[in-house]
Structure formats: C-alpha cells, structure tokens
Amino acid sequence: MARQRQMTAYRTRQLIFRILFAILVVLLCVIFLAPFMVMITTSFKTNRDAFTLPVQLLPREWVFENYPKAFETIPYFRYMANTAFITFFSVLGQLLVTPLVAYSLSKIRWRGSKVISGLIMATMMIPISVTMVPMYRIYSKLHLVNTYIPLILPAYFGKAFYIIIYRQFFTGVPNSLMEAAWIDGANELQRYAYIALPISKPALTTIGIYAFLDAWSDYLMPLIYINKSDRNTLSLGLQQYISEHTVDWSRLMAAATIFVVPVVIVFVIFQRNFVQGIATSGLKA
C-alpha cells in the first residue's frame, strides 16, 4: 500500500508539473505574440479606433482599404523588389562561403586553424559602431555609396556567428565518414561536396534563415549607404512613411504586416530543418 501511495503521489506531482509548465508556455506565447496580433488587428482598424482607450484587440469596424492604400502611399513594390534583390544575393553569399570556411576549420588539418578560429570568434566582440566609419570611408573612396554592393559584398566574406554555428555542426560529424571517403579515393573537394554538404542541410537551413532575417529586416546599413529614394529598402520605406506623411497608423500597420509576411512564410516552410539545425549545432535557441 505504501508503494502504491508513493506512486500515486509521484504521478500527481508529475501531472501538476505538466499543467504548470503548459500554463507557463501559453503565457510566454501570449507575451511574444501579443505585439504581432496587435499589429495585425490594428491594420484593420480606423485611425481613430487605433488609439481608443481602453485598448480593444478586435476592431469595432473592419477596414480592408488600409492595405491597398498602404501601397499607394509609398512605392511599396519597388522597395520590396530592392529588398528582395539584396536579400537573395546576401543569403546566396552566406550559403556559399560559410560552409567552406567552417569545413576547413573543423575537418581539414592545417597549421594555424585554431588561431584563425579564435580570431573569428574574437571579431564577434567588436561593436559595429567601431567598424562603421572606416567601412563607409572605404566604400566611399571606391565610389560604391548609393549602390547595393556595400550591403551584399560582406556576405561573401562570411559572418563569424554563422561560421561558428556551422563549425559546431561539422565538429559533430564523425571523422570516420571522411576517412572512408578518402580510402575510396575521394579528394577534399569531393568529400566536402558529396558528404559534408548533404548531411549538413539542417545547419545550412539555419544559416539561410538567419541570413534572410538579417538582410530582409536590416535598417542601419541601408540607412548609411543608400541616399536615393528609388533604391530604398522596405525598412527605409516604412521610416519614410512616418517622417514624410501625417502618420496613419492603421495604414502603417498594414504595410508592416505585409513586410513581416515573407519572414513568417520562410520560417514555416523551413521550421523543421531550422529546429534540427539549432539542436545539432549545439546552439541554444
């Protein structure tokens, strides 16, 4: 009987723990999703209802005209095309360079690889404000200001954070796979292309999503290097919406919702590989 009572008490504690954990997860989800939900619902409100107190989540009157009017206020499709162009080539650069660097640091034995790895990690501690002015002077001397090259070119030199993630993944790949391929006559490039890359798809997806988010939502770099309105990105366009017009917050929220939609779509499509890549690279989300 004592044994049975202990088991019952244990199961009761487990059930209480699971209920409390579920409540905590729901509360955290509500906290993180609340701004997103407010943005979406505000995009369907009138400008007056957007500031009604007490705040109401659902609009009293559904206004669907905010979305087409948001496109009329700024050249939205041009800014979206500019942003998509920058994002595509930035992601492409990261996906080409990051695996190569990470593979060389983790699977190829060469003198100084540990020193280079340490230097790459050290660059993560350098604030962007330190390199901002020197980089601008370099691009200005090369007459590349007001072009997309300063926004795209850095991706083809890799990013320390992405390299560290990929390196962690490659470190967990058994060396026996590479040695077996070497015995079969595969050279280093073949081992990278036919073994390392195919099994690193989760890590590649993780890097792609991170790079997409960075390029798509970047505001600071376009603000520094782009001065012509016809070359603005969406982030600059939304800021222009605020600074040049009497702010209609409902239309602004409609424009911001459309701005977020591609990010949500990309994450939903690659969610499984993204979570797997985070788990296998040893990085905690």
> Which of 26-35, 249-258, 266-275 has the least mean pLDDT?
266-275
**Cα(206)–Cα(198) distance, rounded to whole angstroms?**
14
pLDDT digits (tens, 9 = 90+) for 37-88: 888 888 888 877 777 777 777 887 888 888 888 787 778 889 999 999 999 9
Residues 6+ apart with CB under 8 A from 103: 166, 170, 192, 196
Whether pLDDT at 275 is above 70: no
In a shared domain, residues 120 and 156:
yes
In a shared domain, residues 34 and 101:
no
pLDDT (average), residues 257-264: 86
In a shared domain, residues 9 and 146:
no
More confident: 133 or 174: 133
The domain tally of the chain equals 2
For residue 91, give the nearest of 218, 1, 181, 200 by alpha carbon: 218
Residues 6+ apart with CB under 8 A from 268: none
In a shared domain, residues 192 and 143:
yes
In a shared domain, residues 13 and 99:
no
Task: Decide if 54 is inside a domain.
Answer: no
Whether pLDDT at 279 is above 60: no
Indicate the pLDDT class of residue 29, thresholds 50, 70 and 90.
confident
Return the pLDDT at 138. 93
Task: Decide if 57 is inside a domain.
Answer: no
In a shared domain, residues 10 and 109:
no
For residue 241, give the nearest of 87, 31, 72, 83 by alpha carbon: 72
Residues 6+ apart with CB under 8 A from 45: 59, 60, 61, 63, 250
In a shared domain, residues 9 and 106:
no
pLDDT digits (tens, 9 = 90+) for 148-189: 999 999 999 989 999 988 888 888 778 787 778 788 787 888
For residue 239, the domain's CATH number is 1.10.3720.10
Task: Decide if 62 is inside a domain.
Answer: no
In a shared domain, residues 23 and 148:
no
In a shared domain, residues 36 and 77:
no
Task: Decide if 180 is inside a domain.
Answer: yes
In a shared domain, residues 105 and 27:
no
* Backbone angle region of 146, left / alpha / beta, with phi > 0 → left and psi within -120 to 50 → alpha: left
In a shared domain, residues 37 and 84:
no
pLDDT digits (tens, 9 = 90+) for 177-225: 777 878 878 788 888 888 888 888 888 888 888 899 999 989 999 999 9
**Cα(57)–Cα(34) distance, rounded to whole angstroms?**
10
Domain interval for residue 15:
2-42
State the pTM of this model: 0.81
Task: Decide if 189 is inside a domain.
Answer: yes
